[in-house]
Structure 1
Amino acid sequence: MTSLLEMRSITKTFPGVKALDQVNLDVKEGEIHAICGENGAGKSTLMKVLSGVYPAGSYDGEIHYDGQVAEFRNISDSENKGIIIIHQELALVPLLSIAENLFLGNERAANGVINWRDTFQRTEQLLQKVGLKEAPSTLIETLGVGKQQLVEIAKALSKEVRLLILDEPTAALSESDSQALLDLMLELKAQGVTQIIISHKLNEVRRVADTVTVIRDGTSVSTMSAASGDITEDRIVHDMVGRDMSDRYPARPRNPSDILMEVNNWNVWHPEHADRQMIKDVNFHVRKGEVVGIAGLMGSGRTELAMSIFGRSYGRNIGGEVQLHGKSADVSQIDRAIDAGLAYVTEDRKSLGLVLDETIRTNITLANLGDVSNAGVINEHEETQVSEKYRGAMNIRTPSVFQKVVNLSGGNQQKVVLSKWLFAQPEVLILDEPTRGIDVGAKFEIYGIINELAAQGKGVVMISSEMPELLGMCDRIYVMNEGELVGELTAEEASQERIMSLIVTE
């Protein structure tokens, strides 16, 4: 196969930081090429160089595209050559229709007048290509994330894409939506569309990738080929983190003691649809030193359960009782839930877990300002000391606690969220998708933190869509389906097959 894209010795420097150092990438025409690496390794920076976000002249090295030297000054330059990037945060306008989104900025018009008939006909053709049956007039806000991802791909196809770049395309998708997207990638490959996928999900990489390039600390360290049988999860992980990881889940002694928290007869109704019950007579408990998992498909009610317990931050007409140390606990508001000893690490760290435009220091102390203030005035020196302590303990990779969290990698952002809640000194920590969108190295560090909390006698409730993660980390697993707990398994009893069997038979 001939090369469609060659990036040679790409070096990109920011003030005080070399983000890319002599990176090489060779993408063959018609292949799916995966780029793997830890958060902060330089994957997104490399794609921004390629797409013209960082224009020619702002980096060293050369880009050769379709046999010619390419110097992209902006995104339009790269798109005109058929290079389209779909970011993890989708760039769709919720209140516009599918058709309007597909041709936004690329309208099918003559003399300033949009040809709507042509627009809708072309939209139907593109939706058929990506397997969507929705009408072109359907508003984006009515679609789930999986279908929105397909709309983004249809939008790329409308621009006569030759090289499609997908950045963490399945990070927010259910298992079935993820499989549908991977199938579509293989179909596009059969149609001759060259693709680059950035992903932390190594099983998905192995399923679709012809070639894998691993980037570590801003340098390309290896390239492996499916044709030669080089691509294995163990090798990718080794090259990503620079060491062997014989066990993805750090071992810990499992010796839970007394019951720490009990939730009894918990019922929750939808906040807007009064006749729709989201959580139905849920009962569960967590012991001191225990990691309890909650498994279930997307939409099973896991997040709604967690948020409703944590200060009733979801739902209405909430009934039931939460007990801590055998006594009824007031969790009716978020501040009261925190005072009672609960903490909740949200699945959506960017929107709900962090103040992105504030510093690491500000974010870490946010849930427990009383401990760094006097008479309502924050002691900034003490706040700095606290944040420095957690920066070291949590291995947050940053030159300073005065760095804004928006500039951190996903794994380091998650460590800031965890630091915030650990500083609040909870007794029970509810973790909702704690490793979503972060790499294997950062995952291992977060697993170590969870084990340490359990060793201190804390109770941990872990919600995860990754069943191997629950099986590797939890002492017990509750299985949830349609707002109800449909089963409970010990670590010894649990398997992916048993969990799925409980979901589909109840």
Structure 2
Amino acid sequence: MEILRMAGICKEFPGAKVLKNVHLSVEQQEIHALLGENGAGKSTLMKILTGIYTMNSGTITYQGKQVQIHGPKEAEELGIVMIHQEFNLIPELSAAENIFLGSEAQFTRFGKINWSALVNASRQYLEQVGLKVHPKTPVSRLSVGEKQLVEIAKALSKKARLLIMDEPTAALTEVEKEKLFGIMRSLIKQGVSIIYISHRMEELFEICHRVTVLRDGEYIATLGIPETTIDQLVNLMVGREVSKRFPKVKAKPGEVVLRVNNFHNQKLSQINIEVKAGEVVGIGGLMGAGRTELARAIFGLDPVNGTITLKTRQGYFQGKFKHPRDAIAHGLAMVSEDRKDQGLILPFSVQENLALPTLDQRARLGVVNRRQESRMTKKYIDMLKIKVSGPSQRVGSLSGGNQQKVVFGKWLETNPSLLILDEPTRGVDVGAKVEIYELINQLTSRGIAIILISSDLPELIGMSDRIYVMSEGKITGHFTHDDVTEEAFMHCATGGVQ
């Protein structure tokens, strides 16, 4: 029996048809995947369902009745609740306060909140999601996985019958992901239905019952998970055959470009690695293993003891970088894991973002040569196939995949000999992922050395020539592309030594 049917949904913005006759049907007690590339219309469809946008035409039938939803509050009153990829939590408030934020009236009498009743009521929801923390614990003290559980508890407090989860595992460890999946299965048994949005294809086959595919704002197909394959879903998403999800080209490594010697600080312990020209060296491990901390230390963002030996165009550098500008000057570049906060200035244009790290190369007496800047921008828009209306388009309005390409472009213009990629495909759709993988192949063919940090284990194994595994700030394993297995990797990632 259906809990939701969206039929013939159309949505237009000035000059653009975003949704064209889209359909979505969700059964009761079902986990239903909504799949599509960035820009396919998934977010717009969910914003219509939650009342943020008004559709131009179509119908929504919920729990057997045709409804019109005029805002998020109305959607929540119907039991339709969305958990966004970026948490809607206030770090300074407690878990209990976040759970009932906006719903305090039920605990209020004569203008005064009964805090004891609010805290006690929050306990049942924290227990329901298996989060064993005191309700008064500030959210700022919780891990990413624990924050995710607070978001779910918050949704349950609103008596959710239809839960929308957008990229819920993007920042979770494998252990946290499995815990989340267990909670999702428990919610289904309690009568909750779930719409699940994720670019991690393997997860769909682990947790979902059916999948609906959108492409370019149009409905393509709805399939039972047992009746399809990853390759078939990829082809439906991108509208063309993608022969390989990980089109790895075997490296022909050159001489050592980077050698890290005994790096150690509060987060790292006796790290020794090396990276050769033209190879991809993966850095893997569970969340909190120290992967990003290692990258930041190499790039001069965090203080560290130990030394690096780096082959530069001028010779060899030995020591450590005290500031990223020194690292950049010696041929290093870094695509950070959080492109929105650390990689881009969202209100700036595509051209302004591409130009930032190399402004001095096109400036004379403090005046930037805009003609050179425009030529540089066109070069990277064409080379990286960045989908933009023009160089002046605000970068914050681009899809995740195109934003990531802008980050790549700005660092490639620095002409690096070593490129550090920290979660380069997080929040990026399948089609854009393959384009990024092909770009990695192009870079290594030019002799550029790459450090690849990824929480996506198939990606890490599929695209790396060698892999170092980290656990609690230490290197616990080292594998080649040919001898690594998921079992051996996880053994080292959980503290076992190779």
The TM-score bracket by the shorter chain reads over 0.9
Q: Which amino acid aligns with 1:403?
A: Q
Name the SS for the 1:255 alignment partner. Answer: coil
Residue 9 (structure 1) aligns with: 8
Contact conserved, 1:202 with 1:233, CA < 8 A, in 2?
yes
Pairing partner for 2:99 from 82, 87, 102: 102
Query: What's the offset of the Cα at 1:486?
Result: 2.5
Contact 2:248/2:437 (CA < 8 Å) preserved in 1? no
CA contact (8 A) 1:10 1:20 kept: yes
What is the identity, as a one-letter code, of the residue corresponding to 1:91?
A: N
Match of 1:327 among 311, 316, 328: 316
Task: Spell out, residue by residue over 1:318-368, the C-alpha distance to the aligned partner (whole angstroms, 9 max, x if none).
Answer: 332332256125622111110100001101111111111111111111111
Quick check: 1:7–1:26 contact (8 Å CA) kept in 2?
yes
Alignment-derived partner of residue 454 in structure 1: 444
Does residue 360 (structure 1) correspond to residue 350 (structure 2)? The answer is yes
The structure-2 alpha-carbon separation of the partners of 1:53 and 1:450, relative to structure 1 and needing over 3 Å to count, comes to same
1:331/1:340 contact within 8 Å kept:
no
Partner of 2:425: 435
What's the CA shift string for 1:454-493, capped at 9, x where partnerless?
0011111111122221221111111222222223222222
CA contact (8 A) 2:258 2:308 kept: no
Aligned residue identity for 2:365: A
Residue in structure 2 matched with residue 274 of structure 1 by the alignment: none
The separation in 2 between residues aligned to 1:253 and 1:319, in whole angstroms, is 32
User: Does the 8 A contact of 1:212 with 1:231 survive in 2?
Assistant: no
Match of 1:273 in 2: none
The answer for the alignment partner of 1:246 in structure 2 is: 243
Is the CA contact 2:261–2:306 (under 8 Å) kept in the aligned structure 1?
no
Q: Any idea what SS the aligned residue of 2:163 has?
A: strand
- Which among 484, 492, 496 is matched to residue 502 of structure 1? 492
Q: Residues 390-469 of structure 1: matches in 2 within 5 Å?
A: 390-469=380-459
Counterpart residue identity of residue 445, structure 1: E
Partner of 1:85: 82
Choose from 328, 338, 341 the match for 1:338. 328
Aligned to 1:67: 64
- Give the distance between the partners of 1:375 and 1:189, measured in 2 at CA: 65
Alpha carbons of structure 1 residues 59 and 111: separation in structure 2 relative to 1, 3 Å:
farther
What per-residue deviation string (whole Å, max 9, x for no partner) do you get for residues 347-406 of structure 1? 111111111111111111111112232222222232222112111111111211211111
The Cα RMSD (Å) is 1.5
Contact 1:390 1:419 in 2 (8 A): yes
The structure 2 residue matched to 1:482, chosen from 447, 451, 472, is 472
Q: Quick one: distance in 2 between partners of 1:449 and 1:223? A: 32
| C-alpha distance after superposition, 1:220-260 (max 9, x if no partner) | 1010124xx32322221111111222321114242111122
Shift, 1:34, TM fit? 0.8
SS at match of 1:279: coil
Confirm or deny that 1:493 pairs with 2:467.
no
Counterpart Cα distance in 2 of 1:374 and 1:143: 49
Partner of 1:318: 305
Is residue 279 from structure 1 mapped to residue 268 from structure 2 by the alignment?
Answer: yes
Alignment-derived partner of residue 202 in structure 2: 203
Alignment correspondent of 1:272: none
Which deviates the most, 462-471 or 87-96?
462-471
CA distance in 2: counterparts of 1:490 and 1:251, whole angstroms: 14
Aligned length: 491
SS of the residue corresponding to residue 335 of structure 1 reads helix
Q: Name the counterpart of 1:36.
A: 35
**Cα shift at 1:188:** 0.4
Q: Which amino acid aligns with 2:309?
A: V
Residues 501 and 68 of structure 1, relative CA distance in 2, 3 Å threshold: closer
> C-alpha distance in 1, partners of 2:479/2:295?
19
Q: Check the 8 A contact 1:367/1:424 in 2, yes or no.
A: yes
For residues 343 and 116 of structure 1, the distance between their equivalents in structure 2, rounded to whole angstroms, comes to: 50
In the alignment, is the contact (CA less than 8 A) between 1:262 and 1:324 conserved in 2? no
* C-alpha displacement of 1:317: 4.8
Q: Is the 1:411–1:442 Cα contact (8 Å) retained in structure 2? A: yes
**Mapped partners of 1:210, 1:481: distance in 2:** 34
Whether the 8 Å CA contact 2:263–2:304 is kept in 1: the answer is: no
Aligned position for 1:137: 136
Q: What residue identity is the alignment partner of 1:262? A: R
Structure 2 residue ranges without an equivalent (≥5)? none
Secondary structure in structure 2 of the residue aligned to 1:505: coil
Match of 1:232 among 221, 225, 229: 229
Q: Please, which moves more after superposition, 405-414 or 334-343?
A: 405-414
Letter in 2 for 1:324: K
Is residue 266 from structure 1 mapped to residue 263 from structure 2 by the alignment?
Answer: yes
The aligned residue for residue 176 of structure 1 is: 175
AA at the equivalent of 2:277: K
1:388 to 1:73, Cα distance in 2 relative to 1, 3 A:
same
1:302 aligned partner:
291
C-alpha contact 1:8 1:22 (8 A) present in aligned 2: yes
- Contact kept in structure 2, 1:302 and 1:480, CA below 8 Å: yes
Answer with 355-364 or 237-246: which moved more: 237-246
2:108 is aligned with 1:118: no
CA contact (8 A) 1:206 1:231 kept: no
Q: Give the drift of 1:192.
A: 0.2
User: CA separation in 2, counterparts of 1:450 and 1:317?
Assistant: 28
Deviates more, 1:132-141 or 1:368-377: 368-377
Could you tell me the percent identity over the aligned residues?
46
Query: In the aligned structure 2, how far is the partner of 1:492 from the partner of 1:170?
Result: 28
1:428 touches 1:460 (CA, 8 Å); kept in 2?
Answer: yes
Inter-partner Cα distance in structure 2 for 1:16 and 1:384: 26
Would you say the 8 A contact 2:357–2:410 is kept in 1? yes
Worse overlay, 143-152 or 394-403: 394-403
